[in-house]
Amino acid sequence: LLGRDEINLDMNSIENFLNGKRILISGAGGSIGSELLKQCLNFNPAEVICIDFNEESIFKIEQKYNKFTTKTVINSILVSILEYKQLEKVFFENRPQIVFHAAAYKHVPIQELQPWTAIQSNVKGTKNLIELSDQFNTEKFVFVSTDKAVNPVNVMGATKRLSEKLIQSYDI
């Protein structure tokens, strides 16, 4: 069905990458961020710092994971990636070693109608996270992008492509 060979993940490498680390996931309450949280917990990080600007998403994370028995500390924080000073406080207090950046506006038709919102979230928010990751010596910054960033033909794709270019200008 895929038209390519199956990709087998090196689970030992992933475990070595995540085990015992402090991980920050932006957009942790969204569809991609919540899946990243679920998958990361399989590899025993010391802490997962879940940030999202949506109060209901943060509430759902707390309700779901407070029931789990795990050695991993799950720290959910209501913060917007657009609020630099608040985000800086999160980095200062939590010192993430790995950042998974999943927060973004992703619905193409909506972003076409409101391009400045897409630019604010997808570019400025990413820039804030990149700068803070660099400032606080984050070991690794993992950006969740999209195939729409390759030769973009819409606002959402263009904002993700610009964000990819921003990341390339830093050493994280």
| Residues forming the active site | 148
In angstroms, rounded to a whole number, what is the distance separating the alpha carbons of residues 155 and 147? 13
In angstroms, rounded to a whole number, what is the distance separating the alpha carbons of residues 154 and 148? 8
Q: How many CB atoms lie within 10 A of CB 80?
A: 17
Q: Which helix (H) or strand (E) holds 141?
A: strand 140-143
Tokens found for residue 49: 């710092």
In angstroms, rounded to a whole number, what is the distance separating the alpha carbons of residues 121 and 102? 11
Residue 118 near residue 168, CB atoms below 8 Å: no
